[in-house]
Amino acid sequence: MSEQEKEILVTRSALPPYAEFIEAIKPIWDSAWLTNMGEFHQQLEQELKTFLDVEQLTLFTNGHLGLEMVLQAMELTGEVITTPFSFASTTHAITRGGLTPVFCDIDPVTCCMDAEKIEALITQRTSAILPVHVYGHICDVEKIERIAKKHNLKVIYDAAHTFGETLNGVGIGRFGDAAMFSFHATKVFHTIEGGAVSYQGEWLKERLDCLKNFGIINKEQVVAVGGNAKMNEFQAIMGLCNLKHLSTELEKREQVVNRYGERLAGVKGLRLPEQQAGVKSNYAYFPVLFEDDFALNRNEMYDWLAGRNIHARKYFYPLIPDFDCYLEQFGQADIPVARYVAERVLTLPCYGSLTQAEVDRICDVILEVKR
């Protein structure tokens, strides 16, 4: 198979050197301690607190359960204002917690929740706002904070796309009452599966540690209806190894994103992501909107790329209110901007091991059809 025929996936997990990981897991065979907040779990938790510059942090077996359990820990009721433009997990965490999602439209540039439209959705039943930092773009955290304080609401950020990012030098996990990070294998930083919640306050740490371990606080007391969301030691060690190599991974991703920008900038009908002022990016994604004046629409471009062994992703499509499980209740949500973006966006392959030649090949295939 020639280089021009080689399959290019939309994402590829970063892995530490094999020998390094094997050496790192050897102590597990001596201790036989595989889970239940062991030595490496505790070490990763501390190292991530330092790296992310957050006051408190709790690890979970995945980000979704972290989000579910922080909502439970805060004892929210009624309605939670959120975005329709996200992965299924965001809204599922709300509904599985017995809460009602209220969908707020998105900003056309950042694709994050449009803070200007939040207050119109607040009712007497609203208890929280759950925005999502999308593609590494940061929500309008200052405006959201002002709204939350005015109406006495909690703010929980879905920060799955923004690991390691800062806004004006402040770690993204410091904004809001809590922030959830995903460490899924496809993320910038991963623990195979995994996640964390950052927050302020010792009371929430005690509550989350309890909930993620079935509500158990000692051998004879179960004080809450919790679940099993403990990160195991193998996951923690993968995280510790990956953290050592993260700066290199980010440098490689930056080169990929910059190359896309060089090749695709100024092309009629293509809308590329914009760098936000004050944001230190993690170069997690490269979303492109195929506007109406481009030669092919988004679905046609998706097929065009796939036919040349290049796999992009319609991310996010369909919108959450249009899922079969939500369509009857939320399908008529007033979210025109989110619908516009969802019908036109493709995320192109973006990961550290993607070579410049592969980026050029992707761009060449796109530019073949420009008007």
Percent of the chain as helix, strand, coil, to the nearest 5: 40, 15, 45
Cβ atoms of residues 257 and 83 within 8 Å: no
Give CA–CA dist 65/180, Å, rounded.
Answer: 10
Q: Are 181 and 159 in contact (CB under 8 A)?
A: yes
Tokens 């209110």, located at residue? 321
Using 50, 70 and 90 to split pLDDT, how confident is the model at 201? confident
Mean pLDDT of 260-267: 96
pLDDT mean over 263-277: 95
> What pLDDT shows up at residue 116?
98
Q: Are 242 and 191 in contact (CB under 8 A)?
A: yes
Q: Is 85 in contact with 341 (CB distance < 8 Å)? A: yes
Whether domain 246-367 has CATH 3.60.150.10: the reply is no
286-290/270-271 β-pairing: antiparallel
Task: Determine the pLDDT at residue 371.
Answer: 54
Between CA 7 and CA 14, with CA 12 as vertex, the angle to 5 degrees is 140
Longest CA pairwise span in the chain (Å): 71
In Å, how far are 1, 143, 146, 153, 157 from 150, measured between CA atoms?
A: 61, 11, 6, 8, 18
Q: What is the rounded average pLDDT for all residues in the chain? A: 96
Return the SS3 of 288. strand
Q: Where in the chain is the domain with CATH 3.90.1150.10?
A: 246-367
pLDDT, one tens digit per residue, over 280-304 is: 999 999 999 999 999 999 999 999 9
pLDDT at 5: 75
For 63, residues 6+ apart whose C-beta sits below 8 A from its C-beta are 89, 160, 180, 181, 182, 183, 184, 194, 195, 196
* Residues forming CATH 3.40.640.10 domain(s) in the chain: 18-244
Q: Does the pLDDT of residue 2 top 80, yes or no?
A: no
pTM for this prediction: 0.96
Residue with the two structure tokens 């304080």: 149
CA distance 323 to 340: 17
Domain 18-244 classification at class level: alpha beta
C-alpha to C-alpha distance for 10 and 273, rounded to whole angstroms? 17
Helices (H), 98-140: none
Inter-residue contact 126 to 102 (CB < 8 Å):
yes
pLDDT in tens, 3-31: 667 899 999 999 999 999 999 999 999 99
pLDDT of residue 33: 96
Task: Please determine, for residue 181, whether its predicted confidence score (pLDDT) is greater than 70.
Answer: yes
pLDDT at 109 over 60: yes
What is the predicted pLDDT for the residue at 1?
A: 55
Cβ proximity of 230 and 37 under 8 Å? yes
Q: Which two tokens stand for residue 51?
A: 């790296």
Burial bucket for residue 53 (CB in 10 Å: 0-12, 13-18, 19+): middle
Q: Is residue 345 a contact partner of residue 115, using CB atoms and an 8 Å limit?
A: no
User: What three-state secondary structure class fits 55?
Assistant: coil
pLDDT, average across residues 64-71: 98
| pLDDT confidence of residue 156 | 98
Report which of 158, 46, 64 is spatially closest to residue 111, judged by C-alpha positions.
158
